[in-house]
Amino acid sequence: MSIETDNPLPSKEKKITPQPQTPWKTSGTERASSLIFILAAAAASYMTVALTPMKGILPLTLLFFIFAALFSFIRGNRSRGIVAGQDSAAGVVMAIGMFVALLPIASILYTTVSKGLPGLHRGLLFNDMSAATPTDPITEGGLSHAIVGTFVMVMISLAIALPLGLLTAIYITEIRGRFTRPIRFLVQAMSGVPSIVAGLFILSAFVYPITKTFSGLMGSLALSILMIPTIARTAEEVLRLIPEDLREAGLALGGTQWRTVAMVVVPAARSGLVTAVILGIARVAGETAPILLLTGGGDQININPVEGAMGSLPFYIWKSFFFGSEEAVARGWAGLLVLLTLVLILFATARFFSTRKVR
Amino acid sequence: MRLMPAPQALADAPNLPKPRVITTEPRLSDKVFRAVVTAGGLSSLVILGLIAVFLAYQGFEILVTEGLDFFTSSKWEVITDEYGDVVSYEFGLAAMLVGTMLCALVAVFVAIPVSVASALFLSFYVRGKLKAILIGSVDLMAAFPSILFGFWGFFVLMPRAEYWAMLINKYLGWIPLFAVDERVFTRSPFLAGLVLAVMIIPITTSVAREVFDQTPLDRVQAAYALGATKWAMIKAVALPYGRGGVVGGAMLGLGRAMGETVAVYTVLNIVYDINWQILFGAGGNIASLILLKFGEARPLEVQALMAAGLALFLLTLLVNFIADFIVKKSGKKGR
């Protein structure tokens, strides 16, 4: 009671209940002022380009960045002093960094799609290049041999790399022996092996001493060297996420470690392991350097990996661009578009599997 | 009393199971399992070892005959007589080594600021759906095949970068780094470095972002509680904490950039002279040299290429080792 009597406010205003306030939210005025500030930076940079001899999109962009950082500094400085000025300018600089990092990806996607689309036609997926020369119109021939070759090689390398990569991951997460740290480092080091070195290694270890000829199998061997670290590292990350409780439960039920890993841990991680496989495939599907060294790059469909030259998407693209005629370059872009689409599909599938919950 | 048999009777009873022997000895199935997994786990060691052994074996002869000249001279030629027999040969890798380092360093110096800014942006400035989309785009770019970067660099970046190089030379040419003797700007190490930078930005960004994301929340909140702005918090907490991760990520990118073949081959003019001018249109790259020379190489030259491959392999291994060491050590420091 005494509180009410102490209250100096007139009784009329007592009825006003305090509304919950959200001072951290951006208000409408703040948003409007941000918009005005961006427009001001754009206008200033445009004016500078228009009034001075500097011309073109490059100075425009650069000036926009500079003006944006400068204006935001002034804005923060005016409202809350120099510290706030630095803070808002830093925010703009970070955003610019993000923009610059994403610019190439947009450019790459746009270029590939816009230059690759004219080269697409129905026969592309069903014909090979055995009857067409690079100077033939783009509607002749296709890249079925390349798709088939890439598929065969990737599958063989997967058959080699999946067991080895998975065993490596299981060793690191389940056995946890005394080689765990060295093996983790070696897998890391292996992921840094230049692809051309992998190609040279297969050349020196298999092609020259044993087979004496280029073939799809040799290409797959080199690809599997590049695939193992990707699979091992992704699988390791996934197996790490499996709760320790599951392993303990398996062992407490009397299972041996072998049965616990095979029946509990690996099945629990299967969607993540699918991700590992897909990322491994995406890693090698477009790998070019070892393919150029080892496969010979044929022009017709060849599904025999141990005999004869085998075409593949990277080889097809490489050959087309280096032939250089207008039609060949169009073919190359079409091939790049197909390869890009393949990588995008693989990436999206991997995302789909990795975002599912580990059960 | 009658229900409980005497101890003697218990021991004599014929059908009672023997007490289980409790042991830590794994069963046979586990022994086999452990052996198989350990063998599989050591595959990376075996493969890396085999790579070194085979490349050294094939390149041994050249390494012996050329000696230290293999790394200090920059001549790369085989002279044959009219019958195709080798008269004399000289293989030196110096120009290629310098070129490789030059391109990779340009790439790293372009990539670091962009990567750090975007990693900080991803860690501290965006959240929720937008963050997921941006991270997804960066990861997607890391999955692009290098041939895509190569031809994008050739067709899209090269015409523009040539102009940029000209501008840099015009206004900053007084700095020795940007000076050129002849005004030839196409297919320069600068351009190759830019393409490589675009390639390694996703890698360095995601390594840096992972480290920044691990910044201890209590320190972040302590900084905010003391009245720090976001930028002050980043300066005082996130950057010192993540410095090791950023440097390690940059080293990882350096390793990638040094070993890249296709993307460099398409945009670099390979010249057998040591060139330190990053804007001048002449450079070297071990991986591209291998690809360039392999097609027409005779057995002798192939051996030299194997030796070059060995040098590249050991170089990238060393860089990766340092990167791993730095990343491991990071994360414990910071205020």
Whichever domain contains A263, its CATH number is 1.10.3720.10
Q: Verify that A74 and A178 share a domain, yes or no.
A: no
Q: Verify that A114 and A149 share a domain, yes or no.
A: no
Neighbours of A274 (CB within 10 A): 17
Domain contains A185: yes
Q: Note the ipTM here.
A: 0.86
Distance CA B145, CA A336 (A): 10
Contacts 24+ apart (CB under 8 A), B1-6: none
pLDDT, residue B328, reads 74
pLDDT, residue B7, reads 57
- Please say whether the beta carbons of A85 and A73 come within 8 A: yes
Q: Verify that A103 and A178 share a domain, yes or no.
A: no
- Residue B41 three-state SS: helix
Q: What is the pTM of this model?
A: 0.87
Q: Using a CB-CB distance cutoff of 8 angstroms, which residues of chain A are in contact with residue B234?
A: 90
CA A260 to chain CA centroid, Å, is 33
Vertex B190 angle, CA B184 and B196, to 5°: 140
Residue B146 Cα distances to A51, A97, A196, A220, A328, angstroms = 41, 23, 12, 18, 20
For residue A356, pLDDT over 50 is answered with yes
pLDDT, residue A358, reads 47
Last residue of a domain, one of A68, A101, A118: A118
- Percent pLDDT > 90 in chain B is 45
Please write the tens of the pLDDT for every residue from B256-308: 899 999 999 999 988 888 888 888 888 889 999 999 888 878 888 888 999 99
Choose the closest CB to B256 out of A192, A283, A332. A192
Last residue of a domain, one of A84, A118, A152: A118
Domain contains A6: no
CB contact under 8 A, B232 and A198: no
Q: Specify the pairing of strand B76-80 against strand B86-91.
A: antiparallel
DSSP state of A228: H
- Please say whether the beta carbons of A171 and A177 come within 8 A: yes
Distance CA B241, CA B216 (A): 9
pLDDT, residue B27, reads 84
A267 CA to chain B: closest CA distance, Å? 17
The two structure tokens encoding residue B213: 């994301």
Choose the closest CB to B125 out of A84, A94, A100. A94
Q: Verify that A94 and A199 share a domain, yes or no.
A: no
Q: Using a CB-CB distance cutoff of 8 angstroms, which residues of chain A are in contact with residue B287?
A: 194, 196-197, 289
Please write the tens of the pLDDT for every residue from A250-290: 999 988 999 999 999 999 998 889 989 999 999 899 899 99
For residue B10, pLDDT over 70 is answered with no
For residue A154, pLDDT over 60 is answered with yes
Q: Verify that A70 and A179 share a domain, yes or no.
A: no
**Residue of A60, A80, A83, A94 best to disrupt the B interface, most CBs of B under 10 A:** A94
Domain contains A294: yes
Neighbours of A305 (CB within 10 A): 19
Domain contains A123: no
Q: Using a CB-CB distance cutoff of 8 angstroms, which residues of chain B are in contact with residue A318?
A: 147, 262
CB contact under 8 A, A111 and B156: yes
Domain contains A93: yes
Choose the closest CB to A196 out of B45, B252, B291. B291
Q: Verify that A61 and A102 share a domain, yes or no.
A: yes
Nearest CA among B57, B34, B78, B28 for reference residue B293:
B78
Nearest CA among A56, A290, A107 for reference residue B151:
A107
Instruction: Give the pLDDT band of residue A2 (cuts 50, 70, 90).
Output: very low
Distance CA A214, CA A308 (A): 7
pLDDT, residue B134, reads 93
Please write the tens of the pLDDT for every residue from A113-140: 999 998 888 878 888 887 777 777 777 8
Q: Verify that A104 and A176 share a domain, yes or no.
A: no
Q: Using a CB-CB distance cutoff of 8 angstroms, which residues of chain A are in contact with residue B267?
A: none
CB contact under 8 A, A97 and B151: no
User: CB-based burial of residue A23 (10 Å sphere; 0-12 exposed, 13-18 middle, 19+ buried)?
Assistant: exposed
A52 vs B225 pLDDT, higher one: B225
Instruction: Give the pLDDT band of residue B334 (cuts 50, 70, 90).
Output: very low
Q: Verify that A57 and A97 share a domain, yes or no.
A: yes
pLDDT, residue B4, reads 55
pLDDT, residue A359, reads 45
Q: Verify that A90 and A42 share a domain, yes or no.
A: yes
A168 vs B320 pLDDT, higher one: A168
Interface check for B141 against chain A (CB to CB < 8 A): the answer is yes
With the CA atoms of A30, A35, A37 and A39 taken in that order, what torsion angle do they form, in degrees rounded to the nearest 10?
A: -170
pLDDT, residue A13, reads 57
Interface check for B313 against chain A (CB to CB < 8 A): the answer is yes
- Percent pLDDT > 70 in chain A is 94
- Residue B146 three-state SS: helix
- Domain ranges, residue A246: 144-355
Q: Using a CB-CB distance cutoff of 8 angstroms, which residues of chain B are in contact with residue A83?
A: 229, 232
Count of domains for chain A: 2
pLDDT, residue B230, reads 92
Distance CA B296, CA B304 (A): 13
pLDDT, residue A71, reads 86
- Residue B334 three-state SS: coil
State in Å, rounded, how far the first CA of chain A is from the last one.
59
pLDDT, residue B6, reads 54
The two structure tokens encoding residue A280: 């491994």
- Please say whether the beta carbons of B123 and A91 come within 8 A: no
A205 CA to chain B: closest CA distance, Å? 6
A165 CA to chain B: closest CA distance, Å? 8
For residue A244, pLDDT over 70 is answered with yes
A138 CA to chain B: closest CA distance, Å? 19
Distance CA B265, CA B285 (A): 8
Interface check for B142 against chain A (CB to CB < 8 A): the answer is no
B334 CA to chain A: closest CA distance, Å? 21
CB contact under 8 A, B309 and A197: yes
The two structure tokens encoding residue A138: 């783009």
The two structure tokens encoding residue A260: 């616990």
Instruction: Write the Ramachandran bin of B331: left for phi over 0, alpha for psi from -120 to 50, otherwise beta.
Output: left
* Lowest model confidence (mean pLDDT) among A30-39, A155-164, B78-87: B78-87
State in Å, rounded, how far the first CA of chain B is from the last one.
73
- Please say whether the beta carbons of B150 and B159 come within 8 A: no
CB contact under 8 A, A98 and B118: yes
For residue A8, pLDDT over 60 is answered with no
Q: Using a CB-CB distance cutoff of 8 angstroms, which residues of chain A are in contact with residue B37?
A: 167, 170-171, 174-175
CB contact under 8 A, B40 and A163: yes
Neighbours of A354 (CB within 10 A): 18
- Please say whether the beta carbons of B257 and B196 come within 8 A: yes
User: CB-based burial of residue A235 (10 Å sphere; 0-12 exposed, 13-18 middle, 19+ buried)?
Assistant: buried
Interface check for B291 against chain A (CB to CB < 8 A): the answer is yes
Q: Verify that A155 and A102 share a domain, yes or no.
A: no
- Please say whether the beta carbons of B124 and B212 come within 8 A: yes
pLDDT, residue A34, reads 78
CB contact under 8 A, A197 and B125: no
* Residue given tokens 């206008």 in the structure block: A43
Q: Using a CB-CB distance cutoff of 8 angstroms, which residues of chain A are in contact with residue B140?
A: 105, 344, 347
Q: Verify that A184 and A298 share a domain, yes or no.
A: yes
A-B interface: how many C-beta pairs under 8 angstroms?
Answer: 267
Domain contains A340: yes
Please write the tens of the pLDDT for every residue from B164-222: 888 888 888 888 888 888 888 888 899 999 999 999 999 999 989 988 998 899 999 99
Last residue of a domain, one of A118, A133, A152: A118
Domain contains A14: no
A140 CA to chain B: closest CA distance, Å? 23
Please write the tens of the pLDDT for every residue from B91-140: 888 899 999 999 999 999 999 999 999 999 999 999 889 999 999 999 99
Distance CA A302, CA A292 (A): 16
pLDDT, residue B298, reads 81
CB < 8 Å from A in window 34-93 of B: 34, 36-45, 47-48, 50-51, 54-55, 57-58
- Please say whether the beta carbons of A323 and A134 come within 8 A: yes
For residue A357, pLDDT over 70 is answered with no
Q: Verify that A174 and A316 share a domain, yes or no.
A: yes
Q: Using a CB-CB distance cutoff of 8 angstroms, which residues of chain A are in contact with residue B324?
A: 185, 188-189
CB < 8 Å from A in window 174-193 of B: none
For residue B332, pLDDT over 60 is answered with no
Domain contains A20: no
